[in-house]
Structure 1
Amino acid sequence: MQRLRRLLMAFVLITGMLYLALCAVLFAAQRSLIYPAPQTEPSKLRDQPGFGVVPLATGLNVDRFYLPAPPGAPTVVHFHGNGEQLLWQQGLGQALGDAGLGFLAVEYPGYGASPGSPSEAGLYASAEAALQFLREQGVKPEDVVLSGRSLGTGVAVEMARRGYGARMVLVSPYTSMVAMGQRTVPFLPATLLMRDRYLSLDKARDIPIPVLIIHGEQDEVVPVDMGRTLGQRFPQARVVTVPGAGHNDVLERDGQQEFARLATFALDGT
């Protein structure tokens, strides 16, 4: 009996140590998992029309892509997903330009050709610097439409919480990064381990602007129920779920019907 007790205690101790080691590994590696940060050569951006940089308070510059709006038209300020980069936003910007809108996208630190390391605070700093740049171009606050996709929805929500934007579009949004962590590794204490939290659900009730949420019903990354839950929390939100659409094709399905919905909402809020 004494030997069995010692073996049991050793098993519990080893299991506990392995569990703590796993928690430590996740804590250390989480940003590399949240931010895969695709890279590109600076030369691919620097000489192209619309590309430039915006300065951060840290002294670094991040890249931006800007297409001015026609007179009197809104400008969509877009924050991309975690597996994307600024260079890949050209097509979206040009399509919105064809719809009569302006477009501004900003790179995240450590992504594309921009220096630095990505973090929640770093993404917010880039976003706010981009909005300051837009103000310097003479764009009125009432002509700014915030837009986010996947990871970028958390950035858009924070900018709305800070008072930016006349309305907001969220494509495939999550309720928080903590909730995503709990879903991905339910056997670990994500609430304690997550450094970058993006608490969109907690912020939503205090954001009064109109919100359009577009979410694929077959989203394999961010469950559609997260989009529905967020829609219930915003004071003014419309949730559109797209049958058959996953995480990465929700705007591209059915002849880009949902892209057209996004553009119409950005133009006049309908």
Structure 2
Amino acid sequence: MNRVLGLARRVVLRILVSLVFVYVSLCVLVFLNQRHLVFPVPPGAREPKLFQSALLRLPGPEGSTVYAFHMPGPPGAPTVVHFHGNGEQLSDEIWLGQRYQEAGLGFYAVEYPGYGLAKGGEGPSEKGIYAAAQVALDYLHTQMGVKPEDTVLEGQSLGSGVAVEMATRGQGARLILITPYTSIVDIGARLFPWLPARWLVRDPFDTASKAAGVSLPVLIIHGTKDEVVPVDMGERLGTIFPNATTLILPGKHHNNVTDPADVRERMFQFARGDGTRQAN
């Protein structure tokens, strides 16, 4: 009987050790490959061929090049500084820049290290993206003459975290967040509830922890059918930012919230400073 119990204990111990090994291996695998999940860089490097004069190449950190795209508005008009999603690149934002320009606003978009034209050097990371965004904003103010008070920060999906970080650094007069998340840690915890996301995430983009310190007027746009960033994250951020308006769009998904013309018009009005105190 004792031999049977001893054998059973050894079998159970081996099973437990195997499970722990598999679990730890999965944690290591996720840790090492997480940037491929957070930054699914689209293939190729597409230049805005019809808008070559709008493409800027700026000297960046440690000899790197920061790419930006500028479509000026009328003199004195606000300029929207746009930070794109993690599955896009700079050339994908041309259509949005055209819509802003047609609305009488300037448009300025920034490429992330490791994306599009900025491939070949440093890969994407939270630190690197913030550094590129800061370089681009400094150039906008000092070399292009756009005043900080005439700057509107706008971030979509991944870019929402970049826009909020720039706001904490004193940039921008208003803030537009399209399908924003509370943090990448929270996203990871929902996707992989069985993993210790808080210990594994290298690029947290922790918007929720920064929101209370951002006093700018904020417009949050989120769809109820968002399959990437749950709508409750946008709703939660709307309760943390001191001066936020939350626009929840029934039936809209992650990538089509700005398709309706009336939603874009709301963005244009907000960027111009019209009705920034409106409630949803």
What TM-score do the two structures reach when normalised by structure 2?
A: 0.93
Q: For residue 82 of structure 1, what is the aligned residue in structure 2?
A: 86
- Match status 1:266 vs 2:271: yes
Q: For residue 63 of structure 1, what is the aligned residue in structure 2?
A: 67
Q: Deviations over 1:198-254 (max 9, x none)?
A: 01000000001000000001111101100010010001000000011000000103x
Q: Following the alignment from structure 1 to structure 2, what is the Cα–Cα distance between the partners of residues 42 and 249?
A: 22
Choose which of 121, 139, 150 in structure 1 pairs with 2:127.
121
Q: Following the alignment from structure 1 to structure 2, what is the Cα–Cα distance between the partners of residues 139 and 3?
A: 76
Go from structure 1 to structure 2 and tell me whether the alpha carbon gap of 1:28 and 1:46 turns closer, same or farther (over 3 Å shift): farther
Q: For residue 255 of structure 2, what is the aligned residue in structure 1?
A: 248
The amino acid across from 1:180 in the alignment is I
SS of the residue corresponding to residue 84 of structure 1 reads: coil
Q: How does 1:98-247 map to 2 (within 5 A)?
A: 98-115=102-119, 116-135=122-141, 136-247=143-254
SS of the residue corresponding to residue 73 of structure 1 reads: coil
Deviation at 1:113, TM superposition (A): 1.4
Deviation at 1:49, TM superposition (A): 2.7
- C-alpha RMSD of the superposition: 1.3
SS of the residue corresponding to residue 113 of structure 1 reads: helix
The amino acid across from 1:123 in the alignment is I
Deviation at 1:88, TM superposition (A): 0.6
Q: Deviations over 1:139-178 (max 9, x none)?
A: 1110000000000000000000111000000000000000
Is the 8 Å Cα contact of residues 47 and 91 (structure 2) preserved in structure 1?
Answer: no
Comparing 260-269 with 118-127, greater Cα deviation is found at: 260-269
Q: For residue 13 of structure 1, what is the aligned residue in structure 2?
A: 17
The amino acid across from 1:192 in the alignment is W
The amino acid across from 2:113 in the alignment is P
Is the 8 Å Cα contact of residues 66 and 104 (structure 1) preserved in structure 2?
Answer: yes
Q: Following the alignment from structure 1 to structure 2, what is the Cα–Cα distance between the partners of residues 160 and 78?
A: 13
Q: Following the alignment from structure 1 to structure 2, what is the Cα–Cα distance between the partners of residues 112 and 61?
A: 12
Comparing 47-56 with 219-228, greater Cα deviation is found at: 47-56
Q: For residue 95 of structure 1, what is the aligned residue in structure 2?
A: 99
Is the 8 Å Cα contact of residues 82 and 107 (structure 2) preserved in structure 1?
Answer: yes
Report percent identity of matched pairs: 49
SS of the residue corresponding to residue 208 of structure 1 reads: coil
What TM-score do the two structures reach when normalised by structure 1?
A: 0.96
The amino acid across from 2:68 in the alignment is R
Residue ranges of structure 2 left out of the alignment (5+ in a row): 276-280
